[in-house]
Structure 1
C-alpha cells in the first residue's frame, strides 16, 4: 500500500503554501525584483532611466513587467503632460513592503556566493 505524505495536510501549512505560491507567481520572472529594487532605491524614475539602470532588459520586457507590477499595485505609473510624453514610475506604499524581502534575498545571495565560490579558494 502506498503511503501518502502528510507534511502539507494541516490547514495552517496549506494556507502558508498557498501564500508562498501566490507570492512566487506575482514576482516570478527574471526582472521583477530588479525593477522593484531599482525603484525602491531610486524613488521615481522615467522609463529610459529604468532601462539604463537594469542591465540586459529590453524595452518590450521592461514595458510588460512594469504593466504587471502596476496591475498588482506594486508600481505607480504617471504620464506627464510634456512633448514628447514622459512617463514616470515609482514604487507604491504597498510595493515598499517588499523592501525587507529584497534586502534578505540580497543578504542570502551574498552569503551563498561566499560559501560556494570562496570555498574553492580555501
Structure 2
C-alpha cells in the first residue's frame, strides 16, 4: 500500500505493516553528510557501493536538513551534537532551498516509490520531471 494514498491509514490499523529503521551505517553516513553541509558549507555527493542503502541515506539527509533548519529557527541552534555549529550564512541557519534528485529515467518510478515509503505525505513536495 502506498503511504501517500488514502488506503494507508486503514492499512496501518491492520497491524500488517513492518517498521522501517535505518541501519547504523546509514545513520553514520547521513549525519556525516549533514556535518559537511552545516560545518563546511559544501554540497555532498554520496557514492557508496550497491546495496549499502544510498536511497534511504539521501532521503534521511533531506528530512534531517528540514528538521535541523526548523529546529534552529525555533531554538537558535541545531539539535544535539550539532548545536556547536553554525552555517556560513548570515543567520547561521541552513538556507530554505529545494532538493533535487537526478536519476536515470528507468529509476524514476523506483525513486518515487521510495520517497513515498520513507517521507511522510504532505511534509515534502514531489515534482517528478522527465
Structure 2-normalised TM-score?
0.30
Higher helix share: 1
Higher relative CO (CA 8 A, sep ≥ 6), structure 1 or 2? 2
Mark the structure with the bigger radius of gyration. Answer: 1
Q: Greater share of strand residues, 1 or 2?
A: 1
TM-score (norm 1): 0.31
